[in-house]
C-alpha cells in the first residue's frame, strides 16, 4: 500500500485514516486503507462501487469504521459533532429540502452553525457559487446543477477548514462545472483541505494536485496526478486485431519485442503490447509487407476499470 508521507500532520485540517476497514456483513467495502489528506485539493478517484462514498462518509462522521481510526487533526471524527465546525460536507445524494428556497436553505445552514451574522454569511456563500439571483426560488424548481451549487453554498457558509465533496460535478453543465472546479482550486490554494471523489480521471486531474486511487475497497495508488497518469499510460495494453490472415499476422508479431504475448482467438489476434509506440508503427508495416489487410485494430482494455485493475494489481509500483 502506498501511503502519503505526512509533513502536514502538525498543520490544521489534516484528515487521517489509519488502517481503516468497513464491512457490511460479509461484504468488505473498504479494506485496510491508510491515508493522510492535508491542505490543498485531493481527488479520490475510483470506479463506481470502489468504496469512495463509504470512505468519504467515514471521514465525514456518518459511518463508523469497522476497524481502524479516522481523525481530523488528531481528533476522533465518529461521534463528535463538534468536528462540523471545521468540516463542510457536500453529499452526493441530490435530496435537499425542496420546499425551502435556496436562500432559506443556506441561511438555515448558517444559523445551525450558530454564526454571528448568518444572513451575511449566507449571502457570501450564495454569491460564491453564483446562486444569488435564483436564491428566492424554491429548491424543488432547481436543476440538478443548481441544487449541487446550493449544497456547496450551504457547506461553505461557515468557511470550513475542510471540505468534503462526494461526486460534486455530477449533473452540472460544462460552464457550472468549470466554475465549481475553479472555486475548488482557489479554495485549495487558500490552504483549505479539500477532498472530492470522482470516477472521472479528467475531472480529477483538472482540479486536484494530489490523487488517491481506490479500487474494490483497496487503496490502489497515491500521489501526484501526473505520476499516476504516466503509470496508467505506460501499462501494457491489450489489442484485438482482425485481418484477412490472422495466423500469418500473429506469427510476424510474436517475433517482435513490442509485444509480450500474441494469442490467436476466434475474434482475431489478441496482442499484449508492452511498447505502445513501437507497436503502432510496426503493425501497419508488417501488414503491408505480408500483404495482409487489416480490418480492425482496437484496444480492449481502455475502460477505467481495466486501468484501475492494472494499478491495483501492483503493476504500477
Interface residue list for other proteins (CB under 8 A): 24, 29, 48-54, 56-57, 60-64, 79, 81-85, 87, 89, 91-93, 95-97, 99-100, 105, 108-109, 111-114, 154-155, 166
Residue found by looking up cell 461557515 in the block: 158
Nearer to other proteins, 72 or 249 (CB): 72
Q: Where on the phi/psi map is residue 174: left (φ > 0), alpha (ψ -120 to 50), or beta? A: alpha
Cα-Cα-Cα-Cα dihedral of 129, 132, 136, 138, to 10°?
-10
List beta partners, residue 30: 22
Q: How far is the CB of 251 from other proteins (least distance, A)?
A: 45
**Residue placing its CB nearer to other proteins in the complex, 38 or 91:** 91
CB 204 within 8 A of CB 225: yes
Would you say 95 or 277 has its CB closer to other proteins?
Answer: 95
CB nearer other proteins, residue 97 or residue 295: 97
Question: What are the residue ranges of helices labelled H in the chain?
Answer: 52-59, 102-112, 118-128, 144-156, 174-189, 201-207, 225-234, 246-254, 276-290, 304-312
Shortest gap between Cβ of 109 and other proteins (angstroms)? Answer: 7
Report yes or no: 273 and 263 within 8 Å, Cβ to Cβ. no
Number of Cβ atoms within 10 Å of the Cβ of 20: 23
CB of 197 to other proteins, least distance (A): 9
> Which of 220, 269 has the CB closer to other proteins?
220
Rounded to 5°, the CA angle 297-299-304 comes to 160
Do the beta carbons of residue 269 and residue 241 sit within 8 Å? yes
d(CA 30, CA 19): 10
CB-nearer residue toward other proteins: 55 or 269: 55
The nearest distance, CB 44 to other proteins, in angstroms, is: 11
Q: How far is the CB of 249 from other proteins (least distance, A)?
A: 42
Which CB atom, from 214 or from 252, has the smaller least distance to other proteins?
Answer: 214
The minimum distance between CB 89 and other proteins, in angstroms, equals: 5
**Shortest CB 180 distance to other proteins, Å:** 19
Cell 481503516, residue located: 20
DSSP 216: T
Amino acid at each position: 500500500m502506498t501511503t502519503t508521507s505526512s509533513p502536514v500532520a502538525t498543520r490544521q485540517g489534516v484528515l487521517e485514516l489509519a488502517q481503516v476497514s468497513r464491512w457490511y456483513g460479509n461484504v468488505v467495502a473498504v479494506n485496510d486503507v491508510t491515508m493522510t489528506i492535508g491542505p490543498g485539493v485531493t481527488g479520490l478517484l475510483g470506479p463506481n462501487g470502489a468504496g469512495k462514498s463509504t470512505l468519504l462518509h467515514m471521514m465525514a462522521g456518518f459511518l463508523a469504521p469497522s476497524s481502524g481510526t479516522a481523525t481530523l487533526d488528531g481528533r476522533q471524527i465518529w461521534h463528535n459533532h463538534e468536528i462540523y465546525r471545521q468540516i463542510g460536507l457536500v453529499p452526493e445524494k441530490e435530496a435537499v429540502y425542496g420546499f425551502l428556497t435556496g436562500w432559506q436553505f443556506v441561511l438555515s445552514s448558517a444559523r445551525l452553525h450558530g454564526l454571528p451574522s448568518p444572513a451575511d454569511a449566507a449571502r457570501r456563500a450564495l454569491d460564491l457559487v453564483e446562486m444569488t439571483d435564483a436564491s428566492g426560488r424554491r429548491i424543488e424548481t432547481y436543476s440538478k446543477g443548481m441544487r449541487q451549487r446550493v449544497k456547496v453554498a450551504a457547506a461553505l457558509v461557515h468557511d470550513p477548514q475542510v471540505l468534503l465533496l462526494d461526486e460534486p460535478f455530477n449533473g452540472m453543465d460544462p460552464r457550472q462545472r468549470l466554475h465549481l472546479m475553479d472555486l475548488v482550486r482557489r479554495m485549495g490554494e487558500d490552504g483549505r483541505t479539500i477532498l472530492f471523489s470522482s470516477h472521472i480521471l479528467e475531472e480529477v486531474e483538472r482540479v486536484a494536485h494530489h490523487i488517491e486511487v481506490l479500487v474494490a475497497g483497496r487503496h490502489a495508488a497515491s500521489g501526484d496526478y501526473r505520476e499516476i497518469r504516466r503509470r496508467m499510460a505506460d501499462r501494457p495494453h491489450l489489442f484485438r486485431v482482425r485481418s484477412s490472415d490472422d495466423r500469418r499476422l500473429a506469427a510476424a508479431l510474436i517475433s517482435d519485442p513490442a509485444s509480450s504475448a500474441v494469442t490467436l482467438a476466434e475474434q482475431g489476434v489478441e496482442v499484449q503490447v508492452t511498447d505502445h509506440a513501437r507497436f503502432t508503427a510496426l503493425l501497419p508495416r508488417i501488414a503491408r509487407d505480408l500483404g495482409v489487410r487489416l480490418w480492425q485494430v482496437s484496444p480492449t482494455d481502455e475502460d477505467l476499470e481495466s486501468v484501475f485493475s492494472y494499478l491495483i494489481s501492483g503493476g504500477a509500483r
